[in-house]
Structure 1
Amino acid sequence: MPKVNLRISGGDASVHYDVTGSGPGLLLIHGTGATREQWAPLVEAVRDRFTVVAPDYSGSGLTTDHGGALTVEDLAAEMLAAASDAGLDRFHVVGHSLGAAVAAHLAGTRPEKVASLVLHAGWVRTDARMDAEFRLWLEVLDAAPGLFARMLPLMAFGTRYWSAADAASNEAVVAALAANLAPGVARQTEVDRTVDLRAVLPAITAPTLVLASAQDRLIPPAQQRELLARIPRTRYAEVEAGHGAHAEHPEAFWDLVTAFLDGQPSAVPQAAPTR
């Protein structure tokens, strides 16, 4: 598995990533507590026409670092380093949740690198209500990590999930979430608390899809409206699901993402990776 070493604000990081397929570049940025594996269905759907780079940022997967505090800027630097190491010069970017904040920061600070942008469940600035939720996450993670996994379906899923769930199936989901939760989820949640993209969003030049979850109880609709207002070239779509729409309603979610990507003029074509 490829990796790239770089210096971030707290010290050194070694970022591991997958690179798959051939064609124009596509960088995928996962959310809090997840890993690059979040994107497996999208990778399979587009590997025939994109060179897909899916990294783990600090706190997730095989990526290692100094173990201290992180910033949005750190995670954006890691993502750019992975894309560059994989041979991508200009590329499309898809980000979910914290990954959407990282993607927007990258697109606003290095606009020459980003050909198009998909922001799912993103936000402009962490407000008081969101910060209260993130503080609760941190307290639960500190006191009883297993309870955090039990909270996740309540936070992440909407009526589509709950109308089909029973106690046994939900228990199975909780167990899977507990087993796969990234070890650095608390560090990443601290980054969630610091998000403030107001200064960088107007500098985004890439055509952008603001993709909302209609039943998202974490990210309020006002945040989506503000993304639309602050980013110059946007369009809007939504999925009838909760914050974790990619897991709750995958068919609709992946269809919207792939349709947007396929509708964009290609980034600078990339050679097939040699690794």
Structure 2
Amino acid sequence: MPVIHVPLSGGPAAVAYDRTGTGPGVVLVHGTGATRAQWLPLTDAVADRFTVVAPDYSGSGDTTDHGGPLTLTDLADEVLAAADHAGLDRFHLVGHSLGAAIATHLAAHRPERVRSLVLHAGWVHTDTRLRAEFTHWLDLLRTDAAHGTAHFARMLPLAAFGPRYWARTDTAANEELVRALATTLAPGVARQTEVDLSVDLRPLLGRVTAPTLVLASAHDRIIGADQQRALLTGIRDSRYQEIDAGHGAPGEDPAGFAALIAGFLDERRAAEAAADAPGVPVGPGVAARA
């Protein structure tokens, strides 16, 4: 497990990441409360043709840091540092939820590094409704920490999963999931939720130049359709796709989620190869918005 030391606004971090496979680089950025293990199904699906780098950012997994407040810039710096340490010059970038916000921030500030961008369950700005959502999360997390309860873990399936999950589960299975979530949530989930509260990408969207897939969940109870429309409007070279799942699509439908992203990555790889091939004209119509 490689580790890279990264200076942050509050002090240093030792960022752990996985590097798997061979080929063009893909960097994967997990969501709030998750770890790089979130990406194992996608890694398995593409590691035969891509070099996959999946870091734990601060508050998650094997990464350690100063323990204080974090910023979106801090987390983007950690992701870029992992890509640098893994030897990736340019790379495809995939983010889920907070990871999508981190990926958008990175793509806006370092456009020359990002080949393409996949944003699942991302958002542009923490508006009043999202602020209420994340504040509720923090209240639950503080109550759990004070009283040994599992209110946050119990809320997660309700907020994150769509109808297909509820149709195929029962009370016992859902209770088992709640118990598992209570013991596996990242220890820094509250610190990461504070970053969720701070997201405002509105000044940055026009700086994103990478071809972008805005991947929405049809039954997302956390991120509304208005946020997806704002991403599509603000990012010039963007397109839309939907998955029949809730906000937590990586856990609800891991195979389907991985297949959609792998399809986009393969398409971008083929487009780049065609553009680089001798005798292939490159003009305004090449790799245009779908």
Please state which band the TM-score falls in when normalised by the shorter chain: over 0.9
Match in the other structure for 1:271: none
Query: In 1, distance between residues paired with 2:207 and 2:258?
Result: 27
1:243 to 2:260 alignment = no
Query: In 2, distance between residues paired with 1:43 and 1:262?
Result: 13
Match in the other structure for 2:232: 228
Match in the other structure for 2:40: 40
State the AA in 2 paired with 1:24: P
State the AA in 2 paired with 1:237: Q
Match in the other structure for 1:62: 62
Number of equivalences: 268
Q: Helix, strand or coil: the match of 1:122? A: coil
Q: Which has the larger radius of gyration?
A: 2
Match in the other structure for 2:175: 171
TM-score by length of 1: 0.96
State the AA in 2 paired with 1:246: P
What is the Cα-based RMSD across aligned positions, in Å?
Answer: 1.1
Query: In 2, distance between residues paired with 1:155 and 1:31?
Result: 14
Match in the other structure for 2:142: 142
Match in the other structure for 2:262: 258
CA drift of 1:199 comes to 1.2
> Does the aligned pair in 2 maintain the 1:72–1:195 contact within 8 Å?
yes
CA drift of 1:262 comes to 0.3
CA drift of 1:250 comes to 2.4
Query: In 1, distance between residues paired with 2:45 and 2:29?
Result: 16
Residues 227-266 of structure 1: per-residue CA shift (max 9 Å, x gap): 0000010010001111001211223211110000000037
Q: Percent identity?
A: 64
Residues 166-214 of structure 1: per-residue CA shift (max 9 Å, x gap): 1001011111111210000000000000000011111111100000001
Match in the other structure for 1:73: 73
Match in the other structure for 1:30: 30
TM-score by length of 2: 0.91
> Does the aligned pair in 2 maintain the 1:160–1:249 contact within 8 Å?
no
Structure 2 unpaired stretches of 5+: 274-290
Relative contact order (C-alpha < 8 Å, sep 6+): which is higher? 1
Query: In 2, distance between residues paired with 1:251 and 1:143?
Result: 35
In the alignment, which of 188, 193, 198 is matched to residue 192 of structure 2? 188
Match in the other structure for 1:16: 16
> Does the aligned pair in 1 maintain the 2:41–2:255 contact within 8 Å?
no
State the AA in 1 paired with 2:167: S
Query: In 1, distance between residues paired with 2:256 and 2:56?
Result: 25
Match in the other structure for 2:219: 215
Query: In 2, distance between residues paired with 1:73 and 1:250?
Result: 29
Residues 133-166 of structure 1: per-residue CA shift (max 9 Å, x gap): 1011101101115111011000100100011111
Structure 1 unpaired stretches of 5+: 269-275
Q: Helix, strand or coil: the match of 1:28? A: strand
Query: In 2, distance between residues paired with 1:144 and 1:264?
Result: 44
